[in-house]
């Protein structure tokens, strides 16, 4: 069985939180006004958590892109150095 990524774990957590909140709302003896306030608070919190998750994902993708570009840059330099050495060997032969 493979491990779960941070994104999946956060998704599971948020899903569990939503289900738990829904069950609590169904069984809690609160007035309609109180329940609506609670739903608004939960919704705002969920939106903020999703925004944070989205920002984290963007940052991870950006970091990964930068790492890939660095590897390509290093490979390009390595190939260029090899090409220059080969051309020099051909000229001196």
Cβ neighbours of residue 6 closer than 8 Å, sequence gap 6 or more: 56
Cα–Cα dist 86/23, whole Å: 71
Cα–Cα dist 44/47, whole Å: 5
Q: Which of 21, 38, 22 is nearest to 30 (CA)?
A: 38
What average pLDDT does the chain have? Answer: 86
pLDDT tens per residue across span 30-72: 777 887 888 899 889 988 988 888 988 888 888 889 999 999 9
Q: Please tell me which residue, 7 or 84, carries the higher pLDDT value.
A: 84
């Amino acid at each position: 069985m493979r491990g779960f990524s941070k994104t999946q774990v956060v998704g599971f957590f948020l899903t569990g939180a939503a289900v738990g909140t829904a069950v609590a709302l169904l069984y809690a003896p609160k007035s309609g006004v109180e329940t609506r306030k609670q739903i608004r608070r939960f919704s705002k919190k969920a939106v903020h958590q999703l925004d944070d998750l989205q920002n984290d994902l963007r940052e991870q993708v950006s970091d990964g892109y930068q790492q890939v570009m660095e590897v390509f840059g290093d490979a390009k330099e390595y190939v260029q150095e090899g090409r220059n050495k080969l051309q020099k060997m051909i000229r001196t032969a």
